[in-house]
Amino acid sequence: MISKIKNYLQRPYPFYYQNKWHIPLLLSTVFIGSFGFSYFFEPFVVNRTEHRLPYFWICIIHAANSFVIGIIYFLILHYRAKDERSWTLGKELFHLSFLLLLIGIGSFLLRDLIYNNPNNWSLSYLWEEIRNTFLVGTLLLSILLPLNLERLFKKYTQSAKKLLLKSDSESDLWTVKISTPITDESFELLLVDFVFAKVEGNYIEVYSLNKQDLEKRLIRMPMKAFERHFIGQKYICKTHRSYLINIHYIKSLKGNAQGYELTLKNVLGKIPVSRGKVPYFNTLFKKNS
């Protein structure tokens, strides 16, 4: 049971915060939902005799507190967590839980502004604000996150279906000389045989066809240096920071919440197309299919 939970938490998960414009959009939705839920449903006991402000403005302040803390927190994530493929469900749940904790503490620190109560700074009210924040936040996130996942899944599934066309273009038969830092390891690569390359630690695994067999060559160089050899080659596409592929070998293309997943001919496993690379991939694939 524990291993199942661990595997579940380690699943790849959409990284919403790579595009900083998605952050205020997401939090604006949370702001509206939080305000509306608190104002119209009054989920917690309200003692209006303690209020310094009308209840409407109290709900606005609580929602604004969530918005401001969320903006700051997710902007930090935007600049610190750059590799969306390493983002997992476990990390998402941890950061959302920590954010709710910060919002609860922020609501506690605002009590003197909102409530005329001599016990505002008591531990019982600290616990109450954190508890209420988790109750409302968990409810809103349990609605918003599945809806957003479904939206992303449909978006990339529909896009993948439109792109997946059989290519009848002629193969590019040119060769490319791969110059490695170690001169003796330099080699020539026939483009028609090149299938894909991926980063593996400090090395790059280059996969190409030798007759009908997939052959792997291990070279020591950065991906940026490797991909410079293919500038101007219209069939070679970087789908992810760690993957470079020959689009002629695409066998199937499926959409998911992360972007696309490719299956290549003669290759086991999936090749990711990260969400940031989807527009570039779409353009290149349409031109050459």
For residues 43 and 135, the answer to whether their CB atoms sit within 8 Å is yes
State the Cα–Cα distance between residues 75 and 177, nearest whole angstrom: 42
How many C-beta atoms surround the C-beta of residue 134 within 10 A? Answer: 15
Burial 137-157 (b: 16+ CB within 10 A, else e): beebbeeebeebeeebeeebe
The structure tokens 């080659």 sit at 233
State the Cα–Cα distance between residues 17 and 70, nearest whole angstrom: 11
CATH superfamily, domain at 175-287: LytTr DNA-binding domain (2.40.50.1020)
Plot region of 187 (φ>0 → left; ψ -120 to 50 → alpha; else → beta) = beta
Residue 166: predicted pLDDT: 41
User: Which residue positions in the chain have pLDDT lower than 70?
Assistant: 1-4, 18-20, 82-85, 162-173, 289
Residue 87: predicted pLDDT: 82
Segments of the chain assigned to CATH 2.40.50.1020? 175-287
